[in-house]
């Protein structure tokens, strides 16, 4: 048990109502802060490169890449909020109740938008592989833009509604001055799990399994025609299908690994708590998905490596560099 010499108040002038915090940070905690800070920096950097690449190069202005752009924007903000939270992780919250709620709404809105965009990407790839002849007519830039806007608006509205009680009845959930705690009751927590975990995961798995089956069946059909395989176009198409099939399994595993621990922990408790001054591992793992998304969705594309090289070497500052053919 800590002695009085080992602790101090967040607000010394409020002796009876202030939260306590340790004077000395354990060495293990310092290592964790360094690790989390590195993850946050990588998340910001990778997603910023995706944002610049898709926004700047005109050849990348396609419906699929717009979805990748939306995903990168949401994950970029998650990285910024992660770094913001790390700087404030001193067991005390000094920005007041309003900023506590605003921070929580922004964090969960961006995470929700990230999950929603992944669902949209799964739909896009489902149509591209399972109905390629009608892809260009069904998936247009205008429709994708509308879907992205709706995804963001719905995410912000949903999270605001979910945390409404925390905005209007803050004194009910605060035990001492200097903490940032968001409480979601059990019923709302269950609804949140269904809407932001079970439903998206179900849609993604169903669509990706269908895509996987179609990709494998097409690859097998092409193998049965050896003469056609010798044709470079057919061979290239077969390799593309098989690569997509392998990538789908990785996407599903990573997505479930990062998101499910958080929701499992939420189901085990009567109420869901979000404490911005002391986040458990499952919350950080939830956010870590934002670091992995640009690796999974962008690094597998050759155009990303080309655009990254042009950005890092500052060749994008050259005249008409936005017209470069990096596909």
pLDDT, average across residues 218-240: 57
98 CB-near residues (< 8 Å, 6+ apart): none
- b/e per residue 23-33 (b: at least 16 CB within 10 A): eeeeeeeeebe
**What does the pLDDT look like over 173-227, one tens digit per residue?**
666 776 777 777 777 777 777 887 788 888 888 888 888 788 777 667 666 654 5
pLDDT, average across residues 54-61: 86
Q: What is the pLDDT of residue 4?
A: 45
Spell out where 181-305 has E strands. 181-184, 272-275
- When computed from its CA atoms, the radius of gyration of the chain, rounded to whole angstroms, is 23
| CB 54, CB 60: distance < 8 Å | yes
Q: Which CATH superfamily is domain 36-323 in?
A: Rhodopsin 7-helix transmembrane proteins (1.20.1070.10)
Q: Is the pTM of this model over 0.85?
A: no
Largest CA distance in the chain: 83
pLDDT band of residue 70 (cuts 50, 70, 90) is very high
pLDDT band of residue 2 (cuts 50, 70, 90) is very low
Query: How far, in Å, CA of 300 to CA of 242, rounded?
Result: 14
What percent of the chain is predicted at pLDDT more than 70? 67
């Amino acid at each position: 048990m800590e002695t009085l010499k080992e602790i101090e108040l967040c607000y010394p002038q409020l002796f009876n109502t202030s939260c306590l915090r340790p004077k000395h940070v354990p060495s293990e905690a310092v290592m964790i802060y360094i690790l989390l800070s590195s993850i946050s920096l990588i998340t910001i950097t990778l997603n910023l490169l995706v944002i610049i690449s898709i926004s700047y190069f005109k050849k990348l202005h396609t419906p699929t890449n717009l979805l990748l752009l939306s995903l990168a924007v949401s994950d970029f903000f998650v990285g910024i909020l992660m770094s913001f939270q790390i700087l404030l992780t001193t067991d005390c919250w000094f920005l007041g109740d309003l900023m506590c709620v605003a921070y929580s709404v922004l964090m969960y809105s961006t995470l929700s938008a990230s999950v929603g965009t992944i669902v949209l990407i799964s739909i896009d790839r489902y149509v591209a592989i399972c109905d390629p002849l009608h892809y260009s007519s069904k998936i247009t830039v205008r429709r994708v833009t509308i879907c992205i806007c709706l995804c963001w608006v719905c995410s912000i509205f949903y999270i605001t509604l979910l945390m409404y009680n925390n905005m209007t009845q803050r004194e009910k959930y605060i035990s001492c001055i200097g903490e940032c705690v968001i409480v979601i009751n059990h019923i709302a927590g269950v609804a949140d799990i269904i809407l932001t975990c079970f439903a998206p995961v179900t849609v993604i798995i169903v669509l990706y399994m269908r895509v996987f089956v179609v990709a494998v069946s097409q690859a097998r059909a092409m193998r049965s025609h050896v003469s056609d395989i010798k044709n470079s176009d057919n061979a290239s198409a077969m390799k593309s299908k098989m690569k997509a099939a392998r990538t789908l399994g990785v996407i599903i595993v990573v997505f479930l690994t990062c998101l499910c621990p958080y929701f499992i922990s939420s189901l085990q408790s009567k109420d869901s708590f979000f404490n911005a001054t002391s986040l458990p591992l499952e919350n950080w793992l939830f956010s870590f998905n934002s670091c992995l998304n640009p690796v999974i969705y962008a690094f597998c594309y050759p155009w990303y490596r080309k655009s990254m090289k042009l950005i890092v070497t500052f060749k994008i500052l050259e005249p008409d560099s936005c017209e470069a053919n990096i596909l």
